[in-house]
Structure 1
Amino acid sequence: MTLVKELKKKEEPKSGMLNNVLQQFNTASDLVGLNPNIRKILGITNNELIIHFPVRMDNGEVEIFKGYRVQHNNALGPYKGGLRYHPTIDIDAVKALAMWMTWKTSLAGLPYGGAKGGIQMDPNLYSQSELERITRRFTYALGDNIGPEHDIPAPDVNTNSQTMAWIADTYMSTKAPSERSKNQHVVTGKPVGSGGLEGRDRATGYGVYLNIKFWAEHKNIPLKDKRFIVQGFGNVGYWAAHFLEKDGAKLVGVQDAFGSIVNQEGISVDSLFQYTKINEGSLVGFSNAAAIEKDDFFGVDCDICIPAALGNQITAENAPLIKAFLVAEGANGPTTVEAEEILLEKGVTIIPDILCNSGGVIASYFEWLQNRNGELWELDEIMARLDKKMKEVFIRVLNMSENRKLDMRSAAYVIAIERIERAYVQRGIFP
C-alpha cells in the first residue's frame, strides 16, 4: 500500500506545498488508524505569527518587511525549524514547512516539535549591513515567541551561520546580563566561534549522502561510477555531491536558480564549487559542461536524482522524464503527490525529505545539547554520532517499509505520526 495509491480515492489534489503535506498527513493517518481527536490537533498549526516591521536602508529610506513564524506542534518538545529569506515565502508555504519539521523531528527520535519561518524578500537585493539590520529587527519583533526551551530557529534557504549569530546576539541582548549566557542555544547553526557545532555546514548534505549510501548497500548496488544529478548547488547540494564523488559516483548534471548544465563525462564537484564562488554563486558559464534548458534538466540520463532546492520541483509534468532509479530528497517537499504517483509506478525509489535531509536537524540537536551542557565536541565525534543516528533512523524506516509493504515515505510518516500519537495518549489532552 502507498500514500499515493490511497490518494487516488480522494478528491483531485490542488497545487501547493501545504496541500501536499496535508494530503500526505491525512493518508498516512488512515494507514495508522490515527485517533480522530489527535488527527484534529495535528491537522492544524498551534500558532501562526505574521510580522510587519520597518528597517532603515543604507540610503536612509525606510522599507517595510513581512516576516513569519509558524509553530505547528510541540508535543515532543520545543518547536524547531529554520528561517528562510525568499520572495516566494507566504503563510501557506511556512505552514507546510512547519508541519514537515514536526514529522522530521519525530521520525529522527528528537525531543523537538516543528516550526518554520522567514522573511518575504530577496536577500541578493540588500547589502550586508542592511541584512544585519533586517535580521536583528525581525528577531526583536519575534520577542519571546522564540527561546532556547521554546522555539529554536536554524538556517534555511538564503540564511547561514552569520544570520544565526545576529539572531543569537540580538535575542541575548534583550535578557538580563545574568541570563544572557543561558540563552546562547536560542538558535542552532551558529558560527563555531559563537557556540556553533563543528561540521554543521555539511550535516544536511552529508545526511543525504548517507541515506543514498545506506539504500545502495541494502540493494547491493555499488556507488562507484553511478551518475547523479543535483538540483540546487547550495550547502545541501554541494556537500551531498562532494561525498558521493568521494565514493566514486559521477556528477553529470547540475541546476541552480541561474541555469542548468550537463556533462556525461562528469563534472568536478570542487571545480564547479570554486567557479560559483567567483561567479556570484552562479554556475552559468562553467566551461566543463554544456548548458541545457531548464525544463530539460530532470530528463538528464542518470542513476540518482537529488532535488536540493525548493519545494514542488518534481511535478506531474516532468516526473515522466526522470530516468533515475533513485530520488533522494535533499529539499523539503520537492516532489508533488501527483509526481510521486508517477515515479512509484515507474519503479523509482524515493527517499523522502523527512528522512533524507534530517542530518541538519540532528546536527542542530547536537549543537543545542553542546550549548546547553557547556560542552565542546570534536568533528570526528560529531560525524560518528551523525552516522550512527542516521543509520538507526534509516533502518527503522526500511524495516517498516518492508514489514508493512509500504513505500518509504509512507513508512516514515507512519513512524513519525505514531510516536506523536503515543505522546498524546500517554499525557492526555488538557484539561
Structure 2
Amino acid sequence: MTNTQTLEKPQAAKRGMLDNVLEQFNSAADKIDLNPNVRKILSITNTEIIIHFPVRMDNGNVEIFTGYRVQHNNALGPYKGGLRYHPTVDIDAARALAMWMTWKTSLAGLPYGGAKGGIQIDPSKYSKGELERITRRFTYALGENIGPEHDIPAPDVNTNDQTMAWIADTYMSTKSTSERSKNQHVVTGKPVGSGGLEGRDRATGYGVFLTIKFWAEKNNQSLNGKTFIVQGFGNVGYWAAHFLENEGAKMVGVQDAFGSLQNQEGIAVEDLFNYGKANSGSIVGFPEAEAMNGKEFFGLECDICIPAALGNQITKENANSIKATLIAEGANGPTDVEGEKILLDRGVTIIPDIMCNSGGVIGSYFEWLQNRNGELWQLDEILEKLEKKLRSTYKKVTAYSEEKGIDMRTAAFAIAIERIEKAYVLRGIFP
C-alpha cells in the first residue's frame, strides 16, 4: 500500500528537521518584527500525543506500535496534516512537520491550522490485513483527538486512500447511527467511491508542476526542452514528472528508495511508472536508463531538481554539486538551512515546500468542503480551482520577495506568519 517511495535517513538528519523549521520561522519572524507574545505561542506546539498500542499479527503474536499526533496551532481553523508510516517517524519529526503544515495552510489562505503524525513502522514488512488492523487500532486510540471540525488527517509518506478509508470507517463506527454520515470528512484523501475528491491523487504533484510553470512564465522561459530530475517516484514525484513531460520537459534522472537511474536522452515517465508497478514499486532494472551511484544523484546535469522524498536530502555536503538552477520542493523540508544558504549564494532559485507542495492540502480542503456540503465536484473544475489558488499564492510570494529583497522561503513564511499574527491580535489571548 505504498503511496510514496522514500529514502532512509539517519537519526541525526531526522532530528535536524525541527532545528531547520525553527530557524526558518525565527528568520522570518525577525524580518516582520513579529509580536513577541505571538512568537512565543508559535514557537511551540499546542498538543502532542504519543500512543503505544497492541495489534495481533497474522501469526497470532502481538506487537506493540508507537503512534504520534502533534497539533501545532489552530488559530485559523481545525488542525490539518498527514499521517505517515515510516521508521523515521518520532516526536521531533512530527513537531517539525506540524509546524510546516501551519505555515502551509496559512500561506494558502485556508481555514486550517497545522498538525502531523503517524506510526513508527516499515509498512513493507506487514501484510495488508495487518496494516488494516494497525491503522484501525491507531485510529481508535486517537479517539476524539481527531475529528472533522477539530483535526483532519490525510495521506502522507507510505499511506494512501485505502489508509484513509480505514480511518474514516473506524472513526465513524464510534459514532451513533445518526451521527456517522456527519463525520465522513474526518479525513481527506479518501477513495473517490468513498467520499474522496476526484483528482486528489494528483493534486500535490500537479501543484509542484504549476509552481514550476509559474516560475517559467515569470522568467519568460518555456518548459519545452527543459531537463529535470526527481528524487522520490511515488505519488508526488510521478505526477509532477507526468505534467512536466506533457509540457515538453525531459526527465533525465530519477531516484527512489531502491536505486537511482539516469539517461540524458530522457526517461519516459509513463514507461517507468508502469515498470515500477510491475516490480513492487521499484525502478531498479528499468532497461531504458543506466543505474548510478545514489550519492551522485543531485550532481546530474539538469535545469530543474524536484526533491519529492523525505526531509534533509539537500545539505551542505551535496549543495555545491547541484547543477540545477531551480529547485522545486515536492517534499516537506528537503533542503536544510546550511544547504539552502549555499544554493542561494550560488544564485539557485528555490520554490519553498510550503508553497510548492501545497496542492495536496488545497485539494484536501476541496474534499472537506465537498463532504461537508454534500456536493460532487468534477475534475476539470477542481484542477481549475487549484491553479487559480496556487497562482494567487505564487504572485503574493514573489511580489513580497522582490519588495523586501528576501528569498522566496522567507517571504512565504512571513506572509503565513503575518496572517496568524493578525488573528491573535484581533481576537486577543484568553483569558
Equivalent position of 1:9 in the other structure: none
Q: 1 CA distance for matches of 2:250 and 2:264?
A: 9
Alpha-carbon deviations, 1:130-181, whole Å to 9, x = none?
A: 0000000000000000000000000000000000000000000000100000
Q: 1 CA distance for matches of 2:378 and 2:306?
A: 29
Equivalent position of 1:255 in the other structure: 255
Equivalent position of 1:322 in the other structure: 322
Equivalent position of 2:244 in the other structure: 244
Q: TM-score, normalised by structure 1?
A: 0.97
Q: 2 CA distance for matches of 1:346 and 1:279?
A: 39
Counterpart residue type for residue 220 of structure 2: N
Question: Is 1:372–2:393 an aligned residue pair?
Answer: no
Equivalent position of 1:95 in the other structure: 95
3-state secondary structure, aligned to 1:338: helix
Alpha-carbon deviations, 1:254-290, whole Å to 9, x = none?
A: 0000100000000000000000001111100000111
Hey, which bits of structure 1, 4+ residues long, moved more than 2 A? Answer: none
Q: How does 1:178-189 map to 2 (within 5 A)?
A: 178-189=178-189
List gaps (5 residues or longer) in structure 1: 1-12
Equivalent position of 1:288 in the other structure: 288
Q: How does 1:157-176 map to 2 (within 5 A)?
A: 157-176=157-176
Alpha-carbon deviations, 1:204-241, whole Å to 9, x = none?
A: 00000000000010001110110000000000000000
Q: Is residue 85–residue 123 contact of structure 2 (8 Å, CA) maintained in 1?
A: yes
Q: 1 CA distance for matches of 2:336 and 2:201?
A: 28
3-state secondary structure, aligned to 1:16: helix
Alpha-carbon deviations, 1:61-92, whole Å to 9, x = none?
A: 00000000000000000000000000011100
Equivalent position of 1:306 in the other structure: 306
Alpha-carbon deviations, 1:398-420, whole Å to 9, x = none?
A: 11111111110011001000000
Q: How does 1:334-353 map to 2 (within 5 A)?
A: 334-353=334-353
List gaps (5 residues or longer) in structure 2: 1-12
Q: How does 1:98-137 map to 2 (within 5 A)?
A: 98-137=98-137
Q: 2 CA distance for matches of 1:39 and 1:249?
A: 42
Counterpart residue type for residue 31 of structure 1: K
Q: 2 CA distance for matches of 1:171 and 1:59?
A: 27
Q: 2 CA distance for matches of 1:244 and 1:405?
A: 30
Size of the aligned set, in residue pairs, is: 419
Overall identity of the aligned pairs, in %? 77
Q: How does 1:183-262 map to 2 (within 5 A)?
A: 183-262=183-262
Equivalent position of 2:360 in the other structure: 360
Counterpart residue type for residue 284 of structure 1: V
Q: 1:376 to 1:329 in 2, by over 3 A?
A: same
Q: By how many angstroms is 1:14 displaced?
A: 11
Instruction: Report the aligned-residue RMSD.
Output: 0.9
Q: By how many angstroms is 1:340 displaced?
A: 0.2
Q: 2 CA distance for matches of 1:251 and 1:344?
A: 24
Q: 2 CA distance for matches of 1:247 and 1:266?
A: 14
Q: By how many angstroms is 1:15 displaced?
A: 6.2
Q: 1 CA distance for matches of 2:91 and 2:264?
A: 40
Q: 2 CA distance for matches of 1:160 and 1:296?
A: 30
Q: 2 CA distance for matches of 1:41 and 1:27?
A: 16
Q: 2 CA distance for matches of 1:89 and 1:178?
A: 36
Q: 2 CA distance for matches of 1:265 and 1:53?
A: 50
Q: 1 CA distance for matches of 2:250 and 2:382?
A: 27
Q: 2 CA distance for matches of 1:115 and 1:421?
A: 18
